[in-house]
Structure 1
């Protein structure tokens, strides 16, 4: 059954991805793309963050708006705390400028409990009302198919690409509540290895390292389910994405489907803004634009942007390895055989010369140069 609501999905403009319009076939409200008018004059406080039942991404991002279409400025040295319905409170610790993390020493998100945020920025106080952390209700399971996608280039030539197609089955219980709201996001996490330079010419070269890349596919797309528009027991065999097969599949490659049980206020907020301009690839990064949410100021005349959400989270993971992909991957960081000869054209021991002369990709020498590199996930 098709949704009676008309909806359009934006397409993530990344070469390796194509978000499929088959999402229109599921019976839930999609997010229409809206061009966000930005007339920000600057100076407003922006607060985004969340607490959840997950051990990850319990954080608050605080910044100050600048003029329209300009990245906001992080606000440092704020006092940030989360308070639960028993009166317990925990102060968040600032890591990166303007990025405050809940270490879960006193408070951790529990379904059925309520939480609120309080922020003090040099004497100015901002807060949210209590919100209940609702448990997740959908059981998601992903599967994949290997296929070939045929395209026509701008010159009219036919080309073929090996791809992975991802599908999901989402099972909902029979005793659904009268109202419920779900948001889905996707990310992929994979590992790559740096290269090993010939020791006889580069005795001081860095050792081989394993790098972990996290790419948040859901940065520009937010998928929302309004339980008021659906009364079926499951959402079966939804096709999510088509992913071009590349070297990222040479080792472990995870696809993570992150389900969030959100409040009606949270749903209405994201449904209202539909598509956001995100600065750093996460819905919790500072948003450029005049987006008012549930954060209030003690000064009733002050305009505040942002949203603090209290959500239940569950993650479905799909692991793929090279054994699942019938394709040979050439490793550009494998310096053996005849690939050694060009490296010897630089002065003895000059690793940096390899980068300057573009003989070696910087990501082959250091994880820090690999885009979206981060710490090793606990499930790896």
Structure 2
């Protein structure tokens, strides 16, 4: 599991009273809540979810630490999700501040309702019941190869080959009066480390294969309020433009993740989008007050975060090297005239290659690549 995806960051801007609180569900985004500087520290922040998927049930807990200090992960909490039949599902701590549904417990089921209960330092934090709604739309993905042109800050014209991803979504004819959907997009691809000349580096690390999963288009999350639509087709929606690079050398997946969400969840994300449109990308700091759905048993305590109960369905688009009309130069392939510089370091000194910046660290240890994770089940 990608640790960076679960990391917390709290930033208090100098000269202001703003605390940056990241919203980490399927995509990383940021929410800024107005606080007095003196009150910025020691606030509980809880984010999480339960779903019908076996791979999307987790809760993160942290405390704010005040000005210009990262949030402190909270360990030792008791985290349960309780359904409407009073069956409790236990979430166990797998790393500081990250609690994941234990393997022996089943994920959520459509039609049931769930609430969060977390005990931190003998203080109880909870949510109201939310129903896990089934997924409504059927999605299909397609791609087009194109060129993206831009102007640099210096006024130079540049162009990049890109993959444009489009989505078609079909809705049933007998739509419920009220439903809400969120779509997000991610990519997943594999990469291989280099093979060093064995005659000079006999103890070099063996070749490794790593898998990278990135969230894309965080500022282009699609929200649908079902009260405002009766059409059965939502076609030709452009989801993302992705610059073509070495990540397309092997299998490259685009995953469109559809979530059935509650009205409260929809309204929460609408506020996030409104704030980020006014202030920049979802990954940027935004200004405004954004309340979640988690409360403390102490009515005077202010708690930040959101716990969602969602139905999930994922549509995948696989692309391979054969789909890309671009020649790739592998920066980690050392052959021919790229070998002699490697031999300038002492015999067998792999670390020297890094110290001398002759090889990028990710060419030797691909797990150092941002968002590197275990092998996805669909690879």
Aligned to 2:229: 230
Aligned to 1:92: 91
- Is 257-266 or 267-276 further displaced after alignment? 267-276
CA contact (8 A) 2:41 2:65 kept: yes
Distance 2:289 2:245 in 1: 39
Matched, 1:38 2:37: no
Distance 1:129 1:154, change over 3 A: closer
Higher strand fraction: Structure 1 or Structure 2? Answer: 2
CA contact (8 A) 1:68 1:289 kept: no
- Which sections of structure 2, spanning at least 5 residues, go unmatched? 1-28, 277-281
User: Secondary structure of the equivalent of 2:42?
Assistant: coil
How many residue pairs were aligned? 340
Aligned to 2:116: 117
CA contact (8 A) 1:290 1:305 kept: no
User: Secondary structure of the equivalent of 1:348?
Assistant: coil
Post-superposition shift, 1:127? 0.9
Correspondences of 1:147-296 after superposition (within 5 Å): 147-274=146-273, 291-296=290-295
Distance 1:289 1:150 in 2: 34
Distance 1:243 1:223, change over 3 A: same
Aligned to 1:357: 356
Aligned to 1:27: none
Aligned to 1:136: 135
User: Secondary structure of the equivalent of 1:248?
Assistant: helix
- Is 351-360 or 85-94 further displaced after alignment? 85-94
- Which sections of structure 1, spanning at least 5 residues, go unmatched? 1-32, 278-282
Post-superposition shift, 1:90? 2.1
Post-superposition shift, 1:155? 4.5
Matched, 1:322 2:318: no
User: Secondary structure of the equivalent of 1:352?
Assistant: helix
Post-superposition shift, 1:119? 0.5
Distance 1:120 1:359 in 2: 50
Matched, 1:371 2:367: no
Post-superposition shift, 1:103? 2.4
**CA deviation vs aligned residue, 1:83-130 (integer Å, no higher than 9, x gap):** 112221122111121000002422311111111111111210111111
**CA deviation vs aligned residue, 1:240-277 (integer Å, no higher than 9, x gap):** 22111110100010111111100011111222233678
TM norm structure 1: 0.84
**CA deviation vs aligned residue, 1:4-50 (integer Å, no higher than 9, x gap):** xxxxxxxxxxxxxxxxxxxxxxxxxxxxx998453252221111100
User: Secondary structure of the equivalent of 1:293?
Assistant: coil
Aligned to 1:309: 308
CA contact (8 A) 1:295 1:308 kept: yes
Distance 1:88 1:340 in 2: 62
Post-superposition shift, 1:289? 8.4
CA contact (8 A) 1:187 1:216 kept: yes
CA contact (8 A) 1:88 1:106 kept: no
Distance 2:261 2:349 in 1: 53
CA contact (8 A) 1:185 1:223 kept: yes
**CA deviation vs aligned residue, 1:216-239 (integer Å, no higher than 9, x gap):** 114444321111221111111111
Distance 2:32 2:122 in 1: 32
